[in-house]
Amino acid sequence: MIKTRLTVLLTAIIVLAVIATGYTLHAAGRQDSGGGRSGAFDLRTPGQLVFRDTEMGPNKDHLAAVPARDPGGARAVSDIACARFYAAAGTGVCLRNRPGLTPSYDAVVLDASLHETHRYPGTGIPSRVRVSAGGRMAAWTVFVSGDSYGGAFSTRTSILDTRTGHLISSLEDFSITKDGSSYRSPDVNYWGVTFADDDRFYATLATKGKTYLVQGEVGAHRVRTLHENVECPSLSPDGTRVVYKKKVKPVSSGSPWRLYALSLKTMQETPLAEPRNVDDQAVWLNDSTVVYALPGDFGTDLWTVPADGTGAPRELVGKALAPAFS
Amino acid sequence: MYLSATRSADAAAATPTGAWHRTLRLVAPNVVALGAVSLITDVSSEMVTAVLPLYLVAGIGLSPLAFGFLDGLYGGATAFVRLIGGQFADRRQRHKLVAGTGYALSAVCRPAMLLATSVPAIGAVLVADRAGKGLRTAPRDALISLSSPEGEQGRAFGVHRAMDTAGALLGPLVAFWVLTATVQQYDAVFVVSSCFAALGVLVLVLFVGDQRGKTGGSVRMTLSALRRPAFARICACAVLLGVATVSDSFVYLLLQHRLDFSPRYFPLLPVGTASAFLLLAVPMGLAADKAGRWRVFLGGHVLLLGVYALLLSPVDGAVLVVAALASHGAFYAATDGVLMALAGPLLAPETRAGGLAILQTGQAAARFGCSLLFGAAWTWWGPSQAVGAAASLLVAAGAAALILRPREA
């Protein structure tokens, strides 16, 4: 009796071990035999959409490029794997996870032909990355666990001058003007930087359970609040509006955020025509349309919606994340 | 079912491995089998827990702030499921069936992680996983209790908790090994985790046996357990002490607050507690059988008071981390399994699962209340004042427990 049971157990262990090992080797091989190649495309090619390919297969998580006019067309795939990516004017920044017992990452600066020029290691899980329109400044946000009380995640935002190599590893030391007066609090978090030029930027500041749109200056190390309940702002190419995620329901509802546009002149809010929950920092396709990611059947899909509240959402390309246009 | 106690006379020499071997031989085969099931299942579940934040944020692009709410809000749901599980297990003395259903439910959740890509879907999988955990805990502990003679309950629970914790320690290592080997292919982690979960269920099916006896399981019968003075007193003590037991995550945050070390080492703090728990679970269980379970249980809370004292003391650096985590793990070793060993024999076999479920649920609810109070105290007064308040509360609860303590113990 015990003999039969031991035989069954031993057989099961062998079968399960073969499945576990086989699948792990298969997954590892999927990565090794990546069809991508270096120099697959150039970041300066006009009319091109670059993104992280989330399609299951040898190219998963690699940077891929398609013509912006035909986003469903064949993908040129590179050998660069990224968790998050953004590029402007021939400068790319790729945030890559480094596996280990504690989460850490590398921020890798790429030139136009996708060659690594610098690498900045750090601690946390990559979340957002932006490059200024001129390609000089870069900013990224990572999540760090256990930094704040309650076991919640907190964020850490860094800004890099790629020309001088000067890295501000955390914005937490910037001076804050909140509603007109100086403000200090140990619980301040920043995320979602978007650049106006190589010095001025907008971002989200969170403190005491509220979020604010702030405008900041890198050189002067300061920010001031402009508007409440704004997360992950994205500045329009003409610099007059931001599209952002506004919290319209408690996070426990499972779908707290909607896309809104905010006029920086009048502070007028306009809901965009996307009824679903969006948890992304939008990217401007042109002066009137934004692109954002939504969870899809496999990884995420990219969608577009007009930035003025009209029209309807439309799928731009499936199985893609972290878009950048050139 | 269990081996006779006279076997201890011809047990092996007192070398460390000999001692461990002897301990294993001296607990019922059913307890060892349940320990193996817990070990394998914990490897599986801790693999997923360890990579979950990374997977959600880096893998599928969700914000952890959206995921954070999933983490603490389902305590109520699991408490309810736990009570149901205890009830059903008693009804027809089907502990194995109910516990097995719980393990199987959690096992099915592993491959389901591959298919869940939205917050509601992942939330649903995590809730189902926790429901499985809630369902199996009380019948499993009742089965450990029923399979062991009254004088050796502490040893049996000590062996089970040590095996359980070993699995919890191995899980993250296996997960990161798979992630490294596959260059971050999360699906491989979920597949390997599924294989461990399936193996756990199989070991349960093949090697765990039910203890036949009188059936219970009516709500009235289970509640009548609370009319036994000794059991009711233990429940009251566990709840009182639970209100003064600060949750693990707060202990780790307090340590980080005191030391200001790099957040990248933060996830290693639970490893310290678990290691001490693993090493001390069996010795504490044996001590409980010898010196009295009630004494060891209350003594464990003195160790917790020691953790609070260390957090308030001028002790600093590595000494603080090592001393605090060792005491914290020793606290668990002296209280977690020992409480079950203390309460189990006070319950009639036909109400054991239901009674233990009530005790566990009461203790969990008290600790949840403590988290809310402690969070508020931290916000209003600051961290050291909050620890001071928790320490005072613990002293008061300990004094009350001394007055309330069951006379038999």
ipTM: 0.78
- % of residues, chain B, pLDDT over 70: 87
Q: Is the pLDDT of residue B24 over 80?
A: no
Backbone angles phi, psi at A189, to 5 degrees: -125, 145
Q: Please identify, among B204, B229, B247, the residue that sits at the C-terminal boundary of a domain.
A: B204
The residue from B182, B204, B226 where one domain ends is B204
What are A194's strand-pairing partners?
A: A202
Distance CA A53, CA A77 (A): 8
In order, the DSSP letters of B203-215 are HHHHH--------
User: Which band of pLDDT confidence, cut at 50, 70 and 90, is reported for residue A288?
Assistant: very high
Nearest chain A CA: its distance from B198 CA (Å): 8
User: Span A281-291, mean pLDDT?
Assistant: 95
Is there a single domain that holds both residue B69 and residue B197?
yes
Beta-carbon contacts of residue A2 (< 8 Å; ≥ 6 apart): none
B16 domain-assigned: no
In 3D space, the residue among B44, B58, B42, B45 whose CA is nearest the CA of residue B185 turns out to be B58
| CATH code where residue A216 lies | 2.120.10.30
Is residue A79 predicted with pLDDT exceeding 60? yes
CA B310 vs CA A284, B242, B248, B318, B383: distances in Å = 53, 20, 15, 12, 13
Q: Most A CBs within 10 Å: which of B195, B196, B257, B311, as the mutation test of the A interface? A: B195
Cα atoms found within 13 Å of the Cα of residue A189, Cβ hemisphere only: 24
Whether pLDDT at A157 is above 70:
yes
Annotate B44-112 with DSSP letters as a single string: HHHHHHHHHHHIIIIIS---HHHHHHHHHTTHHHHHHHHHHHHHHHHHTT-HHHHHHHHHHHHHHHHHH
Q: Tell whether A293 and A319 lie within a shared domain.
A: yes
Note the pLDDT of residue A308: 95
Q: Is the pLDDT of residue A147 over 50?
A: no
Same domain, B227 and B127: no
Q: For position A36, what pLDDT does the model report?
A: 59
Chain-wide mean pLDDT for chain A?
A: 90
The reported pLDDT for the residue numbered B25 is 67
Residue B22 pLDDT greater than 80, yes or no: no
**Chain A residues near residue B250 by CB distance under 8 angstroms:** 149
Say yes or no to pLDDT of B230 above 80.
yes
Contacts of A300 in chain B (CB under 8 A): 60-61
The C-alpha atoms of residue A94 and residue A130 are separated, in whole angstroms, by: 10
Q: Which of B185, B53, B194 is nearest to B122 (CA)?
A: B53
Across the range A180-197, mean pLDDT stands at 91
Q: A162 and A220: one domain?
A: yes
Q: Are residues B191 and A20, on separate chains, in Cβ contact within 8 Å?
A: yes
Looking at the structure, tell me whether residues A168 and A209 fall in a common domain: yes
For residues B176 and B164, what is the distance between their CA atoms, to the nearest angstrom?
20
Question: Are B160 and B276 in a shared domain?
Answer: no
Nearest by CB to A125, which of B53, B66, B69? B53
Pair B85, B56 in one domain: yes
* Averaged pLDDT for residues A255-282: 94
Pair B223, B165 in one domain: no
Residue B289 has pLDDT above 60, yes or no: yes
- What's chain B's average pLDDT? 85
For residues B22-48, give the mean pLDDT: 88
Query: Are A223 and A310 within one domain?
Result: yes
> Residue B317: is it exposed, middle or buried by C-beta count within 10 angstroms (0-12/13-18/19+)?
exposed
Q: How many CB pairs under 8 A join A and B?
A: 161
Q: How many CB atoms lie within 10 A of CB B214?
A: 10
CATH (domain of B404):
1.20.1250.20
Domain assignment present for B8: no
With beta carbons less than 8 A apart as the criterion, state whether A51 and A63 touch. Answer: yes
Specify whether B155 is located in the same domain as B299.
no
Segment A210-218 mean pLDDT: 96
Distances, alpha carbon B17 to alpha carbons A182, A260, B14, B24, in Å:
64, 65, 8, 10
Both B252 and B401 in one domain: the answer is yes
Number of domains forming the structure of chain A: 2
- Considering the domain architecture, whether residues B186 and B222 belong to the same structural domain is answered as no
Q: How far is CA B354 from CA B77, B90, B131, B222, in A?
A: 17, 7, 16, 6
B263 vs A27, A61, A146: nearest CB: A146
Please report whether residue B3 resides in a domain.
no
Number of helices (H), then strands (E), in chain B: 16, 0
Q: Identify the pLDDT of residue B70.
A: 54
A262-276, B70-84, B117-131, B267-281 — which one is most confidently predicted on average? Answer: A262-276
Q: Given this model, what pLDDT does residue B67 score?
A: 53
Highest-pLDDT range among A71-75, A112-116, B328-332 = B328-332
pLDDT at B8: 36
- A121: pLDDT strictly greater than 60: yes
In a domain, B54, yes or no: yes
- Is a pLDDT exceeding 70 seen at residue A32? no
Give A19 to chain B, closest Cα distance, Å.
Answer: 8
Reference B361, options B372, B353, B373, B349; nearest CA is: B353
Residues A177 and A227 grouped into a single domain: yes
Domain carrying residue A76: 38-325
The two structure tokens encoding residue A124: 């946390």
Position B10 scores a pLDDT of 36
User: B16: Cβ–Cβ under 8 A, 6 or more apart, which residues?
Assistant: none
Smallest CA-to-CA distance from A142 within A119, A123, A159 is with: A123
If pLDDT is split at 50, 70 and 90, which confidence band does B1 have? very low
- Which of A62 and B63 is assigned the larger pLDDT? A62
Kindly tell me if the per-residue pLDDT of B21 is higher than 90.
no
Q: Are A131 and A93 in contact (CB under 8 A)?
A: yes
Among partner residues A30, A125, A251, which is closest to B54 by beta-carbon distance?
A125
| Nearest residue of chain A to residue B172 (CA atoms) | A101
Q: What percent of chain A has pLDDT over 70?
A: 93
- Whether residues B198 and B221 share a domain: the answer is no
Inter-chain CB proximity B263 and A144 less than 8 Å? yes
Most confidently modeled of A46-60, A130-144, B377-391? A130-144
CA dihedral B375, B381, B382, B385 (to 10 degrees): -100
Banded model confidence at residue B218, pLDDT cuts 50, 70, 90: confident
What's at B281, amino acid-wise?
A
In chain B, which residues have their Cβ closer than 8 Å to the Cβ of A277?
Answer: 119
What is the arrangement of strands in the sheet containing A153-161, beginning at the earlier edge strand? A125-131, A137-145, A153-161, A167-168
**How many CA atoms lie within 13 Å of A302's alpha carbon, on the beta-carbon side?**
27
Statement to judge: residues B181 and B268 lie in one domain: no
Identify the domain containing residue B78 by its residue range.
23-204
Examine the domain organization and report whether B39 and B112 are in the same domain: yes
Q: A45 and A23 in one domain?
A: no
Q: How many helices (H) and strands (E) does chain A have?
A: 1, 26
Number of folded domains that form chain B: 2
Report yes or no: A208 and A184 within 8 Å, Cβ to Cβ: no
Q: Which residue has the higher pLDDT, B39 or A207?
A: B39
